[in-house]
């Protein structure tokens, strides 16, 4: 255990406490002169290749048009929308309650977080407080979901970089989380676990015991993943210095989540604007320093351990009581608008809801972390190699269901 606690991230965690971003900059022009024609080689044309929408490593239906000089990336263009379902428009024709399951379909690997964000936003609009027990259940399930999301990220990211084995290990362990979800609400992926005003279901018998068992089961497994990758020479070479992004660039682009934290900004909405019951728990925000793929990897690995810490605490002191606040049967918020955001596994997930006083929202705008983070792709991969594009897409941890909505 001690070995993992000695990682740089962990040391930096306290050192950078409170620091709002480093001032480090990356010189993005020296290695890349777009207008300069290389006369030392044969007169070569740029190669434009089309990666996706059907490609094994674009995590869904992302299409990236790559402009290459040999293997070097001169520029990229993301073409999105292949999975567009008009979720935000659908919301305008559904009641607040009816729209709740739709949000699960955006970031389908972190459906619980999506549900939490939506429910809390509507609760804020209604001026309702979920009871403490509901908040604790919400925290446990959301953190379990964060673990599941990070596990899926780790497996696919490693697969993209060529390590095929971690995928199976992470999926094996993610299965245990999905089993808990299934027992709790009957669904594994699109859970629809929460209701506006609290939780739909009381925990099942033995829920606490199973969650504790899971925490004990998964802690050594995370060590196992790290054993395969953290000090693996090839892994370190493939990820260190790949797709760097500075804190300033992150902030300028609105990049959030582990990507922002890996650049050295200690910004986590669970601490910055505590929601649900997060203010009750003791946990650290892992922070990186170089903002490269390796740091993002370390940050996410540490986040998984922190999530386990939160789950352990939450299960330990879960209060008794009701799981639903008093919410009218027909939800009809007063005229007004609200923005509420939570820390989803991929970054800041925000819901902006405009109410016209009817049973249906006038407008819902989702601020999806994947969509915003994807903007950074071009900046991160310019001047790097084709193989790095894959690594960076993996490290951004995008879910196309959320990018396209």
Partner 1 sequence: MLDYITSYLRSDTTPGQAGNILWAVVYIFLIFAGLSVAVIAMNWLERKILAHMQVRLGPMRVGPHGLLQPIADALKLLIKEDIMPAEADKFVFWMAPLVVVMTAFTVFVVVPFGATHAVTDMNIGILFMVGVSSLSVLGIVMAGWASNSHYPLIGALRSSAQMVSYEIAMGLAVVSAILMTSLNSAGTGTLSMIGIVQAQQAQHVWFVFKFFPLGMIAFFIFAIAMVAETNRAPFDLPEAESELTAGFHTEYSGFRWSLFFLAEYSAMIAVSSIAVTLWLGGWLRPFSNSLTGDTWEMVFSLIPGLSFLAFAAMCFLGVFRMPKHRAFRMQTMGLAGFGVLLGGIGLLLFVPPVRYRVQDIFWFSAKVAISMYMYIWYRGTFPRYRFDQLMKVGWKVLLPLGIGVLVLTAGVGVL
Contact residues for partner 1, defined by CB under 8 A:
47, 49-50, 55-57, 71, 158-165, 167-169, 172, 228-229, 232, 234-235, 237-238, 385-388, 390
What angle separates helix 132-161 from helix 165-185, to the nearest 10 degrees? 160
Smallest distance from partner 1 to CB 191, Å: 25
Please report the beta strands in 263-346, taking only residues with DSSP state E, as ranges in sequence order. 336-344
CA-nearest of 10, 63, 40, 18 to 267 is: 18
CA-nearest of 180, 191, 34, 48 to 111 is: 191
- Asked if residue 77 lies in contact with residue 69, where contact means CB atoms within 8 angstroms, the answer is no
Which residue lies nearer to partner 1 by CB, 46 or 356?
Answer: 46
Which residue lies nearer to partner 1 by CB, 141 or 159?
Answer: 159
CA dist 244 → 28, 241, 381, 391 (Å):
10, 6, 8, 12
Smallest distance from partner 1 to CB 155, Å: 11
Which residue lies nearer to partner 1 by CB, 242 or 262?
Answer: 242
Smallest distance from partner 1 to CB 239, Å: 9
Which residue lies nearer to partner 1 by CB, 170 or 341?
Answer: 170
Other C-beta atoms closer than 10 Å to the C-beta of 167 total 18
Question: How would you list the strands of the sheet with 347-355, edge to edge?
Answer: 336-344, 347-355, 361-367
Which residue lies nearer to partner 1 by CB, 59 or 192?
Answer: 59
Which residue lies nearer to partner 1 by CB, 295 or 348?
Answer: 295
- Write the burial class of residue 328 (CB in 10 Å: 0-12 exposed, 13-18 middle, 19+ buried): exposed
* Residue 220, strand partner residues: none
Smallest distance from partner 1 to CB 224, Å: 11
Smallest distance from partner 1 to CB 148, Å: 18
CA dist 181 → 61, 88, 109, 305, 378 (Å):
27, 26, 12, 20, 36
Smallest distance from partner 1 to CB 66, Å: 9
Smallest distance from partner 1 to CB 274, Å: 38
Which residue lies nearer to partner 1 by CB, 62 or 196?
Answer: 62
| Residues contacting 40, CB < 8 A, separation 6+ | none
């Amino acid at each position: 255990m001690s070995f993992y606690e000695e990682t740089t991230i962990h040391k930096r965690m306290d050192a950078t406490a409170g620091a709002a971003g480093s001032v480090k900059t990356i010189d993005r022009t020296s290695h890349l002169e777009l207008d300069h024609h290389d006369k030392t080689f044969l007169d070569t044309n740029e190669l434009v290749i089309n990666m996706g929408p059907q490609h094994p490593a674009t995590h869904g239906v992302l299409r990236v048009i790559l402009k290459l000089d040999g293997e070097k990336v001169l520029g990229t263009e993301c073409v999105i929308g292949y999975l567009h379902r008009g979720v935000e428009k659908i919301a305008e024709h559904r009641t607040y309650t009816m729209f709740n399951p739709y949000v699960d379909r955006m970031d389908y690997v972190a459906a619980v977080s999506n549900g939490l964000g939506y429910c809390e936003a509507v609760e804020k609009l209604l001026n309702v407080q979920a009871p403490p027990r509901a908040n604790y259940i919400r925290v446990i399930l959301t953190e379990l979901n964060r673990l599941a999301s990070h596990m899926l990220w780790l497996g696919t990211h490693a697969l993209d970089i060529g390590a095929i084995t971690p995928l199976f290990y992470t999926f094996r362990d993610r299965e245990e989380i999905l089993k808990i979800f299934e027992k709790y609400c009957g669904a594994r992926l699109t859970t629809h676990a929460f209701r506006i005003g609290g939780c739909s279901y009381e925990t099942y018998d033995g829920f606490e015991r199973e969650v504790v068992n899971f925490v004990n089961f998964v802690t050594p497994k995370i060590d196992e993943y790290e054993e395969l990758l953290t000090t693996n020479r090839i892994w370190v070479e493939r990820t260190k210095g790949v797709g760097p992004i500075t804190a300033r660039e992150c902030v300028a682009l609105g990049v959030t989540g582990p990507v922002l934290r890996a650049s050295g900004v200690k910004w986590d909405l669970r601490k910055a604007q505590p929601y649900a019951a997060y203010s009750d728990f003791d946990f650290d925000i892992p922070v990186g320093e170089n903002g490269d793929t390796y740091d993002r990897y370390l940050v996410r690995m540490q986040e998984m351990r922190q999530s386990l810490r939160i789950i352990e605490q939450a299960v330990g002191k879960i209060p008794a009581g009701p799981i639903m606040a008093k919410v009218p049967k027909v939800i009809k918020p007063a005229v007004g608008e609200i923005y509420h955001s939570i820390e989803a596994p991929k970054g800041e997930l925000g819901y902006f809801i405009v109410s016209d006083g009817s049973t249906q929202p006038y407008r819902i705008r989702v601020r999806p972390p994947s969509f915003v983070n994807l903007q950074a792709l071009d900046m991160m991969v310019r001047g790097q190699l084709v193989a790095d594009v894959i690594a960076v897409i993996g490290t951004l941890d995008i879910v196309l269901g959320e990018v396209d909505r």
